[in-house]
Amino acid sequence: MVVAIVEVHVKPEQVDKFVAATIENHEGSIREPGNMRFDVLQSPQDHGLFLLYEAYDSEASAAAHKNTPHYARWRDAVAPWMAAPRKGTAYRVVCPA
């Protein structure tokens, strides 16, 4: 399993648009072959701070996600709404095995 956590800081006036676009990306992502989870989390203290928790069964599945139409639409739509560049960090899963 391959996990990435993506931190996104969204401009306050763009939060609602970001949420709508990210829900669309989530819906497409969870239908991808190899997708195990795609969670969208919002900070209760900072409504412009989001974490995307993405889990795929392999590196190939994770890489294929970046070539999907729903990801491309999301990436292009949300870029101007970000207060800072998004930061993705890959993780090695220790458990569950």
pTM: 0.93
The CATH code of the domain that includes 47 is 3.30.70.100
Average pLDDT over residues 26-42: 98
Q: Is 84 exposed, middle or buried (0-12, 13-18, 19+ CB in 10 A)?
A: exposed
How many domains does one find in the chain? 1
- Percentage of residues in the chain with pLDDT exceeding 70? 100
- Which amino acid, 49? L
Domain, as residue range, for 8: 2-92
Report yes or no: 71 and 65 within 8 Å, Cβ to Cβ. Answer: yes
Tell whether the model's pLDDT for residue 97 goes beyond 90: no
Within a domain: 97: no
Residue-wise pLDDT for 57-69, tens only, equals: 999 999 999 999 9
Within a domain: 35: yes
